[in-house]
Amino acid sequence: MELDWNILRSGEQTIYRLRGFYEKYGYRRFKMSKFEEYDLYVRNKDFLVSDRMITFTDARGVLMALKPDVTLSIIKNTREGDVGPRKVYYNETVYRSGKGDEAFQEIMQTGLECIGDLDLYHIYEVMALAVESLRAISPDYVLDVSHVGLVSGFMEAAGVEEADYGQVMAAVRAKNLAALDAFCESRGLSGTVRALLERLVTTYGTMETVLEELAPLCVGGKKTREAWEELSSLCDLLKANGLGDRVYLDFSVEGDMDYYSGIVFRGFLKNLSAGVLSGGQYDKMVEKMGKKCGAIGFAIYLNELERLGPAQPQFDADTLILYDEKTDLKVLTARLAALAAQGKRALARRQSQGLQVKETVDLRGGETP
């Protein structure tokens, strides 16, 4: 019997569509407990959206937390030295509060992680799957991409102290030129340096267009040159596979330099102001957890999809069966079972007011049509 998409909410539809898609690329389902030891999260709290967690003490006296994140658990359960990268996907609920939000929420997520000895192909594969995931949800999507190496390389070239990276990036994320100018003024940076940093704020466009514009600025430093070359290679691969039209370069995409080491990206859908997908390459996070390997992945926030409105079916049911006190219930139940076996949605009601159905069967009065 085929799955009836009309009975599923937007987030549930997305899970079913993407699950098979990820498995075709060799990703396997990762299933975790609803909670982990609190210590795992508190040691890596800067990696989390919020450090506020719901905690409890278990029968052993160990402080536990309802999981606010899935990636940390996947890293924890990944062994080093396996042949080839570990490729997993997940459908999980996390429990956390948003930034500046006092209320805890249950947030449905689906996503994937690729952890191990990674090369350019693996980075491309995850980016391509992010694009394909957005496209499967809606044709009106955008994937904004940045690169930690390029951003930090620009700041090094401008002479920005590492302690000031956070202040500069706050201005970049907000696309606030006034704040960036105020920073440059306070540090006595030259007009040439200001112009270089301003590119971090003003740059936006298709990867191909922006990379051509940035090429002259990325030939000097090793870090910027390598980041530019990686972005250029990824751009070529996306374009060659028909996936590059809606991928844009935007340095305001947030990626904590203490955890992310390369590509970072965020996906958006039309009519939703918040991003529905976020991901990137987090080698530094894996290293902080004592494992020497690469890692890249993304998560899709299914709760955000519900803001687009529920997926309303055109009909309340395929078949409406009307009955009354004279109806033979054996006939009624047999008819309902037969319709269910055919994969049809059926309702049994005493009246039809307010319902939209494809067909109506009237068993009132004890008759059997």
CA distance 74 to 71: 5
pLDDT band at 5 (very low <50, low <70, confident <90, very high): very low
Residue 288: pLDDT above 50?
A: yes
Residue 292: pLDDT above 80?
A: yes
Q: What is the pTM of this model?
A: 0.79
Query: Per-residue pLDDT averaged across 26-38, rounded?
Result: 88
| pLDDT digit string, tens, across residues 211-260 | 999 998 888 788 889 999 999 999 999 999 999 999 999 988 876 667 78
Contact 349, 320 (CB under 8 A): yes
CA neighbor of 78 nearest in space, from 282, 301, 265, 262: 282
Contact 201, 180 (CB under 8 A): yes
Sign of the alpha-carbon torsion through 29, 35, 40, 42: positive
Query: Quick one: what percent of the chain has pLDDT higher than 90?
Result: 26
The pLDDT of residue 101 is: 60
Contact 237, 244 (CB under 8 A): no
The pLDDT of residue 1 is: 36
| pLDDT digit string, tens, across residues 310-321 | 555 567 788 888
CA distance 98 to 301: 13
Residue 91: CA count within 13 A, CB half-sphere: 14
| pLDDT digit string, tens, across residues 91-141 | 888 888 765 566 788 888 899 999 998 999 999 999 999 999 999 888 899
Residues in the chain: 369
Residue 2: pLDDT above 50?
A: no
